[in-house]
Structure 1
Amino acid sequence: MSRYVEPSAINGHVRVKDVTVVDPLDGRRTPGQDVLVEGGRITSVTATGAPAGDAHVVEGQGRFVVPAYMDMHMHALNTPKDVDGTYALMLANGVVGFRQMSGNRELLKSRSRGTLPRPTGAPALKATAGDLLTPLNASTVAGAVQAVREQHRDGADFVKAGMTTRETFLAALQEANRLGIQLGGHLPSDLDPREAARAGVWSIEHLGPGVTVFAAASSKESEVRAGNPTRKLPPIPKFKIPGADKLAMKLIKGMITNPATGTSELEAHAYNLADGSYDQHKAEELAALFVAHSTWQCPTLIRVHTQQFGDSPEHTQDPRRCYMAPEELRTWDKSVKKFSELPDVTRNALHNHWAAQLRMTRTFADAGVPMVAGTDACGAAGIIPGFALHDEFDHLAEAGLDPLTILRMTTTEPARFLGEEGAFGRIAPGMPADLVLLEEDPLEDHTALRRIAGVMREGSWWSRADLDAVLERIAARPGAH
């Protein structure tokens, strides 16, 4: 059950009548279709007009239907005992699946036992890592290798590098490749992204993060790298004690909320130098290398925007904050204060870097670098779960990506990314009955993706009125994290 989402009365045998089916795979629009659903699966997609029989009927009235959305970078299960608010916001925004970017042994055990919380309308956990690779478990090559082995043993779907060095990152990656488990995440500041791609890294998050990817597109690359300091991490115990993982997360929580608050003036100078010496030819060479090695990118532009414009009213006065748990907002506001105290030279460098991030995203898209949409919601300041994916669509469009590419990044590309191509992400017989009914054509304008007339999750239908009622309940008892 859910505090916010009431069970749908329209489920089981359902006909979504007279819709234009949009296929993200090839961009086709097929008007005048009925989508028949039974047992949580799409059973047929046919020309409208056939008798409905005993099926519940959802009147599409010529609207557009697309596969429901996937968020490929989230931390929803950082609070596994209290995910109801986050999950409800996801449903209300058409998000039906996610990749959990920070796990642990208990989370993996709960998934294996089938005891993860599953309130009404909950999204699917499509993949999860185990513990982040940090100085706590990967301060040495031997430690990094052992951490990968343990996660593989415990059933993690992938390994995420959080805070590593070039040496420990590459050691972990080599071991992951040997075991057949993918590794992705944050590139350390002393690692060339080309080296990571050639070594088989699965995904790069947040366009780096930091300056490392942008150094590879600079005409002054060696100078940028030499001037890019390694972040000093909070003191984390190097020995294992009961509850050490929780202690480590508390120690680095402030950094996770907004890493930009720890930007030094040396880092700011590295940003300015990289951005001022941008070389489009080198950027295109980097993109071509990522294509050749199938190095996925999850830009999370909404995440980098909330970091680099941390005290902007756009984020600090966002009316959607009304859905967030009060303790979450207090953490965010502390981070805002810390960001506002950064020197002007640092804040200006962070602001100016935004244009470079948009340019790099467009360069990658134009080259065909494989990319998925993600938000880093849950724990990151200023990011509202569910809604943030629509914010991500806006920023991808700002970078110059076309509506079809954006739609693919949240539907068919996540399926390919997770090795489930053909298993979800399209409106076709046999596919999960997870779909979003839109008021307008999403191939004409990406903003149509937020104009939701209704959402179907596993064959259960929630209308716009139902979704608005969900949002009202969350605002009355804010509980998203």
Structure 2
Amino acid sequence: MSRYVEPSGVTGRVVIRDVTVVDPLDGRRTPGQDVVVDGGRITSVTATGGPVAEPHVVEGRGRFVVPGFMDMHMHALNTPKDVDGTYALMLANGVVGFRQMSGNKALLKSRRQGTLPQPTGSPVLKATAGDLLTPLNASTADGAVRAVREQHRDGADFVKAGMTTRVTFLAALQEANRLGIRLGGHLPADLDPREAARGGVWSIEHLGPGVTVFAAVSSKEDEVRASNATRKLPPIPRIKIPGADRLATRLIKGMVTNPATATSELEAHAYNLADGSYDQRKAEELAAVFVAHGTWQCPTLIRVHTQQFGDSPEHTQDPRRRYMAPDELRTWDKSSRKFSRLPEGTREALHDHWAAQLRMTRTFADAGVPMVAGTDACGAAGIIPGFALHDEFDHLAEAGLDPLAILRMTTTEPARFLGEEGEFGRVAAGMPADLVLLDEDPLDDHTALRKIAGVMRDGSWWTRSDLDAILARVAAHPGAH
């Protein structure tokens, strides 16, 4: 059950009648189709014929149906006992699945046992990591190897590097490759992204983060790298004690809320130096390396924007904050005040870096670097779950990506990314009945993706009025994280 989502009265055998089916794989629009769903699966997609004698018919004429959206960078299960509000906002925004970017032994055990919370309308958990690689579990190369082995044994789908060095990252990557488990996440400041790609890293999050990737496309690369000092980490205990993982989480929470609040003047100088010496030829060469080695990118532009404009009214006065839990907002507001106290030159360097991030995203897209859409929702300041994925679409469009590319990044590309190509992400017989009905054509303009007439999750249908009622209930008792 859910505090916010009422069970759907439209389930079982459902027909979305006379709708235009949009296929993200090739960009085809096929009008006049009946999409028949039963048992949580699409059973057929055929041309509309005569009257339909089915118990539930959804009128699709003049509308467009697309696969449900996937958020490939979230932390929804950081608060597994209080995930209801987050899941409700995801459903209301057409988000039907996600990749959990921070796990632990308890989360992996709960998944194995089938005891993860599943309130009504929950999205599907597509993949999860175990514990982040940090100085707590990966302060040495040997420690990083042990951490990878433990996560592989515990059933993690991938390993996420959080706070590592070149030595510990590469040791973890080599062991992950040996075991056949994927490794992705944050590149350390002292690691060349080309080396990571050639070593087989699965994904790079947040375009780095920081200046690491941008150093590689600078005409003054060595000078930028010399300025890109590894950030000092919080004093995380390096011995195993009961509750150490929870202690580490508390110690780094402030940094996770908005890492930009800890930007030093040296780091700001590195941003300015990298951005002022950007070399398009080198950017295209880097993109070619990523293409050659199948190195995925999850830019999370909404995340980097909320970080680098941490005290902007666009985020601090966002009316959608009304859906967020009060304790979450207090943490965000504390972070924004800290950001506002950064030296003016540091804040300007962070603001100016936004243009470079958009340019890099466009360069990667043009080169065919594989990319998925993600938000970093749940724990990151200014990011509203569900809504944030549409913010990400806006920023991808700002970078110059076309509507079809954006649609693919949240549908077919996640399936390819997770090694499940052909198993979800399209409107076709045999696919999961996770669908979004749109009032406007998403191939004409990406903003059509937020013009949602209804959402189907696992074969259950919620109308626009149902979704509005969900949002009203969350606003009345804010509980998203």
Whether TM-score is above 0.5 comes out as yes
2:477 aligns with 477
Q: State the partner residue of 1:363.
A: 363
Q: For residues 32-71 of structure 1, what are the alpha-carbon distances to aligned partners after superposition, in whole Å with 9 as ceiling and x for unaligned?
A: 1110000000000111124422331001122000000000
Please say if 1:26 is aligned against 2:37: no
Q: For 1:50 and 1:428, locate their aligned partners in 2 and report how far apart those are by CA, in whole Å.
A: 21
Once the two structures are TM-superposed, the CA of residue 135 in structure 1 deviates from its matched residue by 0.2
Q: Which residue of 2 aligns with 1:113?
A: 113
Code of the residue aligned with 1:109 in structure 2: it is K
Could you tell me whether the CA contact under 8 Å between 1:16 and 1:35 is conserved in 2? yes
Letter in 1 for 2:388: A
CA contact (8 A) 1:45 1:428 kept: yes
CA distance in 1, matches of 2:55, 2:192: 56
Question: Which runs of structure 2 are paired with 1:134-149 in the superposition (5 Å)?
Answer: 134-149=134-149
Q: Residue type of the partner of 1:396? A: L
Question: Corresponding residue for 1:337?
Answer: 337
Mapped to 2, the partners of 1:61 and 1:402 lie a distance apart of 25
Amino acid at match of 1:278: Y
> Secondary structure of the residue that 1:71 maps to in structure 2?
strand
Deviates more, 1:61-70 or 1:408-417: 61-70
Contact 1:158–1:182 (CA under 8 A) maintained in structure 2? yes
Aligned to 1:12: 12
The answer as to 2:397 corresponding to 1:397 is yes
Match for residue 321 of structure 1? 321
- 2:430 corresponding residue in structure 1: 430
Letter in 1 for 2:353: H
The corresponding residue for 1:258 is 258
Counterpart of 1:478, as a letter, is P
Whether the 8 Å contact between 2:185 and 2:204 is mirrored in structure 1 is yes
Which residue of the partner structure matches residue 247 of structure 2? 247
How many residues align? The count is 481
- Asked whether the 8 Å contact 1:227–1:267 carries over to 2, the reply is yes
Supply the AA of the counterpart residue of 1:197: A
1:266-299 deviation line (CA, Å, top 9, x unaligned)? 0000000000000000000000000000000000
- 1:54-65 equivalences in 2 (<5 Å): 54-65=54-65
Q: Aligned partners of 2:238, 2:414: CA distance in 1, in Å?
A: 36
Q: Which residue of 1 aligns with 2:376?
A: 376
What code does the residue aligned with 1:276 have? G
Q: Partner letter of residue 456 of structure 1?
A: M
1:176 aligns with 176
Deviation by residue 1:3-60 (Cα, 9 ceiling, x = unmatched):
0000000000000011100000000000011100000000001111244223310011
Residue identity opposite 2:193 in structure 1: P
Deviation, structure 1 residue 99: 0.1
Alignment of 1:78-477 (within 5 A): 78-477=78-477
Q: Which of structure 1's runs of 4+ aligned residues deviate more than 3 A? A: none
**1:153 corresponds to which letter in structure 2?**
R
Contact 2:15 2:54 in 1 (8 A): no
SS at match of 1:81: helix
Kindly indicate whether the alpha-carbon contact (under 8 Å) linking 1:32 and 1:62 is maintained by their aligned counterparts in 2. Answer: no
- CA shift at 1:455, angstroms? 0.2
CA distance in 2, matches of 1:41, 1:256: 38
The separation in 2 between residues aligned to 1:161 and 1:464, in whole angstroms, is: 39
- Code of the residue aligned with 2:270 in structure 1: it is A
Q: Between 42-51 and 161-170, report the one with greater CA deviation.
A: 42-51
Unmatched 5+ residue regions in structure 1?
none
Helix, strand or coil at the partner of 1:436: strand
Moved more, 60-69 or 152-161: 60-69
Q: Percent identity?
A: 86
Deviates more, 1:60-69 or 1:408-417: 60-69
Deviations 1:437-456 (A, max 9, x none): 00100000000000000000
Q: Secondary structure at the match of 1:25?
A: coil
Which residue identity is paired with 1:306? T
**One-letter amino acid of the counterpart of residue 237, structure 1:** P
Structure 2 counterpart of 1:217, one-letter code: V
d(CA) in 1 for partners of 2:190 and 2:249?
23
CA distance in 2, matches of 1:54, 1:364: 46
Contact 2:163 2:188 in 1 (8 A): yes
What amino acid maps onto 1:368 in structure 2? G
Q: How big is each residue's C-alpha offset from its partner over 1:316-360, in whole Å with a ceiling of 9 and x where there is no partner?
A: 000000000000000000000000000001000000000000000
Distance 1:141 1:10 in 2: 54
Say which SS state the counterpart of residue 80 (structure 2) adopts: coil
Distance across 2 between alignment mates of 1:131 and 1:377: 18
For residues 217 and 21 of structure 2, the distance between their equivalents in structure 1, rounded to whole angstroms, comes to: 40
Q: Aligned equivalents of 1:265 and 1:456: distance in 2? A: 49
Aligned twin of 1:72 = 72
Separation in 2 of the partners of 1:237 and 1:29? 56
What's the CA shift for 1:206? 0.1
Q: For residues 227 and 299 of structure 1, what CA distance do their matches in structure 2 show?
A: 23
Per mean C-alpha deviation after superposition, the further-off stretch among 55-64 and 170-179 is 55-64
AA aligned to 1:264 is: S
Q: Extract unaligned runs of 5+ from structure 2.
A: none
Cα deviation, residue 310, structure 1: 0.3
| TM-score, scaled relative to structure 2 | 1.00
Contact 1:25/1:412, CA 8 A, preserved across alignment: yes
| Alpha-carbon distance, 1:149 to partner | 0.1
Contact 2:68 2:411 in 1 (8 A): yes
Paired residue type of 2:371: M
Within 1, Cα distance between the matches of 2:386 and 2:452?
A: 13
Q: Give distance in 2, aligned partners of 1:441 and 1:423.
A: 24
Aligned counterparts of 2:227 and 2:301: Cα–Cα separation in 1: 25
